[in-house]
Amino acid sequence: MPTYRVPRRDIQFVMHEVLDMANHYQTIPGAEDVDADMIDAIMEEGAKFSENVVAPLNMSGDAEGCRWQDGDVTTPTGFKQAYDQFVEAGWPSLAHKPELGGQGLPESLGTMLNELTGTANWSWSMYPGLSHGAMNTLEAHGTEAQKQKYLLPLVAGSWTGTMCLTESHCGTDLGLLRTKAEPQADGSYGITGTKIFISAGEHDMAENIVHIVLARLPDAPQGTKGISLFIVPKFNVNDDGTLGERNSVVCGSIEEKMGIHGNATCVMNFDSAKGYLIGPENKGLNCMFTFMNTARIGTAVQGLCSSEGSFQGALEYAKERLQMRALTGPAAPEKPADPIIVHPDVRRMLLTQKAFAEGGRMLAYYTSQLNDTVNRGTDAVAIKEAETLLSLLTPIAKAFMTETGLESANLGVQCFGGHGFIKEYGMEQLVRDARISTIYEGTTGIQALDLLGRKVLMTQGETLRAFTKQVHKFCKAEAENDLLQEFIKPLAELNKQWGDLTMQVGMKAMQNRDEVGAASVDYLMYSGYVTLAYLFAKAAKAAQQALTSGTTEADFYNAKLFTARFYYSRLLPRTKSHEMAILSGADNLQGLSAEHFVF
């Protein structure tokens, strides 16, 4: 069983030296007192909870799973008790406004906490994690009365929340959904339909569950323009805030899944359940994207968790497992064989995991920093810039980080060899848990279409230029820094090529719109590698500055530079194959008719 240890020093490096979060918090109203010491203190308390309370439940929760009986779901042993401790410590209220019962701290600190609990036990962390999207949706679109009735208990953690979108006949294409919302005499709506794949849709960890549900009003327009959004509580709520009778929403079953066994993935049946409209009629999808964008950044963090967890497990094993001798001569002559960490191919796998974990951490925390500015900043120009950057980086973070997280998890099994395939070592669970991350909250293909089609081409490249301009300014500022040229020169070249590739795809798409779909996934992965290259260059700069100043942590900073060099020499060249695939066009995909797909 892998023993999770929070990577405290690396988190400090990203928060303090790469992103300078303490200065960033000076621009966030209510966060001015958050300095480096407070960040470290919050991290340390979150680390203790994650390492000592949640992590020990990871493998047992996977083995036991959730149990369904007559509509009720029981979570694995210890899950509820851990959640009670989580609530008692005040973690659910960390990043919410004081007037809503929150602590008023920035959302980026919540992202840091999400990494800690998520790496420790992703299945458990999904229960409180889904609630944040429900809270953000209610805060953005709910009435004051709805906030008082539903949001306050969610912030306190006594209730949890879900998002109910998917139906059996429609996944990504929500325009096909059939769930109905019939107006009632008391101003409520009767919600009728069945939703599937609802994470944390039913459980025994909180006293009430607030479902955020998409449904159609009578005579609503067809397609996505006819969707409205509703609050549907598990237990109806009285005017004084106490719980009333059970609402007519029931968990019909839970799915038997490949992974995340400790989290209940539910089929939810709504039988004229009492619901309440959030936001304008027929604008539900617009409101739901508040939830979806929160969930997409949260899922990006799962990719980080997969990379970090698999790296830690593989590294510990590689230092202890004896197998063969180093090709250059015995590294441990007193032992019958050398630890496998001496072998180049094992090093390749470990460094790939390390690079994706450390690069993913920088990207996740950077997007959360932008999110702080968008949601709580006061400078209109800074908010607009952050909105544009976040629009571009959200699909990149979600898809790229989950794909690389899955790759890392697979490498973890490979490092263990045959033992990695055996349950008792915990590495195969990481693969099973990671696999869903590339699918839910929009598959990699959907994120890629959103990035290339909506975010880049539909804005005439304006969204992309906001980021490539930032990269260009960084490269220009460091153009005379001899210590960084190994990073700056290739980054500048790729940054320019990114724009050129985009223009070529755009020109082809004017003649054939299939060119967008044909290029999109390779375009997204190319974008992810370049984005991480920029962040690794910033990390290299911070490391060089520390070494030049005479740090007492030379080993740490030299390891940072080594990892950045590995990324640039071993992983960044993957952009070349993605470039070739992008430019190969749509004909090699669309040229074969469906009838000729035979076996």
What are φ and ψ of residue 196, in 5° steps?
Answer: -120, 165
Rounded Cα distance between 132 and 187, Å, is 27
Name the DSSP class of 26: T
Q: Are 233 and 210 in contact (CB under 8 A)?
A: yes
First vs last Cα of the chain: how many Å apart?
42
Q: Is 378 helix (H, G, I), strand (E, B) or coil?
A: coil
* Helices marked H in 377-484: 380-416, 427-435, 444-449, 462-477
Tell me which of 308, 358, 441, 478 is the catalytic residue: 441
Query: CB-based contacts of 40: which residues, under 8 Å, 6+ apart?
Result: 12
Torsion of CA 36, 42, 46, 47, to 10 degrees: 40
CA distance 153 to 200: 17
Give 277-313 as a DSSP string: EESSTT-HHHHHHHHHHHHHHHHHHHHHHHHHHHHHH
> Phi, psi (5° rounding) for residue 155?
-65, -40
CB 458 within 8 A of CB 493: no
SS3 180: strand
Q: Tell me how many degrees the CA angle 80-83-88 measures, rounded to the nearest 5.
A: 125
Place of tokens 């999808």: 285
Distance CA 523, CA 390 (A): 18
Residue 515: active-site member? no
Query: What does 542-580 look like in DSSP terms, one character per residue?
Result: HHHHHHHTT-S-HHHHHHHHHHHHHIIIIITTHHHHHHH
CB atoms within 10 A of CB 552: 7
Q: Which H or E element spans position 237? A: strand 235-237
- Using alpha carbons only, give the angle 295, 301, 306 rounded to the nearest 5 degrees: 130
**Contact (Cβ atoms closer than 8 angstroms) between residue 585 and residue 518:** yes
Separation of alpha carbons 7 and 112, rounded Å: 11
- 270 phi, psi to nearest 5 deg: -105, 120
In the three-class reduction of DSSP (H, G, I as helix; E, B as strand; rest coil), residue 56 is classed as helix
The CA distance from 42 to 8, in Å, is: 11
Q: Per residue in 579-588, is it b (16+ CB within 10 Å) or e — as a string?
A: bebbeebbee
- Any idea which residues carry the catalytic annotation? 441
